[in-house]
Every structure is written in structure tokens, then in C-alpha cells.
Amino acid sequence: MIRSVFLLVSSLALVPAAAAATDVVKVIKHPAYQKSVAVLDREHDRIVADIVTLTEIPAPPFQEKARGNAYLEMLRAAGLGDVEMDEEGNVLGVWRGTGPAGGPMVAIAAHLDTVFPAGTPIKVRREGTRLSAPGIGDDTRSLAVLLGYVRAMREAGVRTGRDILFVGNVGEEGPGDLRGVRHLFTKGRYKDRIKTFFSMDGTDGKRIVNGGVGSRRYRVTFKGPGGHSYGAFGLVNPMTAMSQTVVDLYRITPPKTPKTTYAASVTGGGTSVNSIPDQVYMEFDMRSVSADALAALEKQFLGIVAASVETENKARSTREGPISADPKLIGDRPAGGTPEDSALVQMARRAVEAHGLEPELTASSTDSNLPMSLAIPAVTIGSGGSGGRAHSLDEWIDVEKGASLKGMLPGLTMLLAAADLR
């Protein structure tokens, strides 16, 4: 469904997204682009310094404010206009293009939040060109690279046809559940103006995420009367209903294309070894690149939960009360995708190739999921250099200047192409 929407969009001459973009080759040959690259080269140390500064301001899920405030001042200092923190905590700044006010925008975002809980010690350790600290690559480097772009574009006298919205957004990681971009696209002041979206996430400069793996996550609590394991034997047991749910879920063979998956992942509950539990829970993860396949799987799953409860209530005594199940949605990331043959993905491929890299198209779960689910062209790209061990305490990036700088250029090229470099 989404695919057909995009084919339609890219064939309509009136839609500016595809029509007005500047060709990648023209961008790369443009003197203002080349001057921007020279500034990035000269300012590389400053970008690295910004990475360190921002990394050392903790930004756990739902506690991104301190880092957001710092980033806001940095965007302002870099020269953007209308710099603000929105109601959700996203930090926004506008690069004005030459077009009329209120026209279509290109947005580029890096996320402020990390997976690390409050209290995690965060101090950047430097060994040669390798910097280690929780969150440094995911996604703090990208925040600093966006600042570098703004300063370079400004100093190089870049002029774009369109406005560019620079964003440091909240809520990309796990429990944040894409709340930052969700606000941006459904409630924020620019929600109807953003026609192209780049999420800069991670380091790999040749990776283009054009598939948005959607997910629906549940924590299901199964309850019953409980009782003594010997004295009350024969009463319904919520553990049995929960187990039946897992067994029946794992009998489903989901489609391989579009790739659709499930997992019974985390469990807990029970009173003591000699008690029938009154409450147990399990967490389930369902994912698909197709919203329809995901919805179909979710429906099957909820049917299995209900049937398992019914089976247990029929199999044993409910004289002290029946089993019930309470499925609570704890994660909701819309599925979506920007087609391979769309103008945006084609352009992104050419931008990566133009810098001598081999593009890798993949599907993942990133901030781009949200615009993709709204049929807004979006891709997630890297900020350059290399890195590893994301989501672990020994997360690291390498800022060796050659690879670090080279990896920043596809992103800048795409951004200026999409924003119609003049």
C-alpha cells in the first residue's frame, strides 16, 4: 500500500519533493558545497570536541532535558533561526531557504536520548582516535555532525531553495517509543511542512535504512485466585494460560516476505514454590516491515491470549475465581518503508556512490519509521567514521579524520540535494 503511494507521488510533476531537488552531481560540483567540505575539514577537531561535550551530558529516556538545553544553545550559536525546545522536548532550529516563508521543508534529525539509565557513569575515554563512552556513537556523534553542517553551510554561503529543519529529538530508544518524531509529525508546528526526512543515526556512512520495521509490544499479565499448591490443587493457574499462549504463538509461521517476527521475551511472577501464583506476566514483541502483516499477527496473538484463558478456565476449577489476562501495549512503532525506486532512495544511493562508497539498503527500527508510516519520504543515514558496541557500556567510535570526514559527506550531499542547493 505504501509502495503504491510513493510511486504515485514520484510521478506527479507538481510535488516539489522529487521535482525540485538538485542533482547529486551538481551538488558535489557546487563551489558552496566544496567550501562547506573545506570548513568541515578545518573544523574537524571542533566537531570532535562537541561530541565529547554532548556525550558527557547524560540523556536517559525521558530525561533528555539537560542535553536538550545544551544542544539548543549550540544550534543557536551555530546561527540557526527560530531555535526552540518544543512541548515534547525536541530541540528545533530553522535554516531559512530562498523560497517563500511557510513552504515545504527538509528535516534532518539526530536523537538526544541514549539507552543508559540515570546514574550511569559517563566520561569519554580517549585512546588515539578512538573515543569510548556510553551513547557516544548512538547517537551523540550525529548531533555534533549536524552542528558542523550548519556552521560549514553558513561559512560557505550555502543557499538552498527550501527551509531545513535541524532537530535534536527525544524518545528514539526503547521506551521512548518514537515520541519525539511522533510529536514532530503529528502535533508540532512544522508537521505539515516536512516533505523529506533524514534521520542521522549511528556512524556507517554507506548504510541507507529505507525499510521501517514496525513493532507492537505487549506485557500481558495473567491473573487468578492463587492458593496453596497442595491444599488448593485443582484451581486454575495463570501460569498454564500464559504457557498455552506461548506454545500457540510459536505454532504460527509468519510471512518471510514481508519479514514478520514475534518473540516471547521476558517473564516473571509467582509467590513461592509451594503456591499457585495469583499473577504472572510475559512480554511479547511482534515486528514487521508491513503494517498489514503486523496488524494481522497482532490480531492472531490477542486471539490466542483470550483462547488460552478460556481453555484454562474450562480445564480447572474457577470456584475461587477465574483466570483473566490483561494485555498492555508497551511498544508501538509503525511499520513503513521508502521504496527502493523512490526519488529519495535513488538520490541517497547516488550520494553514497558519489563518495566512493557502496550503498547498503536495509530495514531497521529508527525515527524514520514514523514519517514512513505517514507516507513521507524518509531514510536513516550515518554520520561517518566507525563505531561499535552500541547499547553497551564500552560503546566506542573512531574519529580518525579521513574516514570520519568522508563519512559525513554523503549526508551533507543528500541534505543539500533535497533542500535544492542554489
Residues that bind a second copy (CB under 8 A): 174, 213, 215, 217, 219, 229-230, 233, 237, 239-240, 242-247, 250, 259, 261-277, 280, 282-285, 287, 315-316, 330-331, 365
Give the nearest distance from C-beta 344 to a second copy in angstroms: 24
d(CA 215, CA 260): 10
The set of long-range contacts for 5-13, using a CB threshold of 8 Å and a minimum separation of 24, is: 5/375, 6/338, 6/339, 6/342, 6/375, 6/377, 7/339, 7/341, 9/342, 9/375, 9/377, 10/341, 10/342, 10/343
Give the nearest distance from C-beta 382 to a second copy in angstroms: 18
Core vs surface per residue 184-209: b (16+ CB within 10 A) or e: bbeebebeebbbbbbbbbbbbbbbbb
Nearer Cβ to a second copy, position 83 or 208?
A: 208
Give the nearest distance from C-beta 267 to a second copy in angstroms: 5
Question: By C-alpha distance, which of 235, 314, 315 is closest to 275?
Answer: 235
Nearer Cβ to a second copy, position 22 or 245?
A: 245
Give the nearest distance from C-beta 198 to a second copy in angstroms: 23
Give the nearest distance from C-beta 112 to a second copy in angstroms: 21
Nearer Cβ to a second copy, position 171 or 331?
A: 331
**Which cell goes with 194?**
516536512
Nearer Cβ to a second copy, position 187 or 328?
A: 328
With residue 260 as reference, give the H or E element that holds it: strand 260-269
Give residue 9's identity as a one-letter amino acid code. V
Give the nearest distance from C-beta 287 to a second copy in angstroms: 5
Nearer Cβ to a second copy, position 8 or 315?
A: 315
Nearer Cβ to a second copy, position 129 or 279?
A: 279
Core vs surface per residue 248-257: b (16+ CB within 10 A) or e: bbeeeebeee
d(CA 345, CA 3): 13
The number of beta carbons lying within 10 Å of the beta carbon of residue 32 is 18
d(CA 368, CA 337): 9
Strands 194-200 and 378-381: parallel
Nearer Cβ to a second copy, position 40 or 178?
A: 178
Give the nearest distance from C-beta 203 to a second copy in angstroms: 18
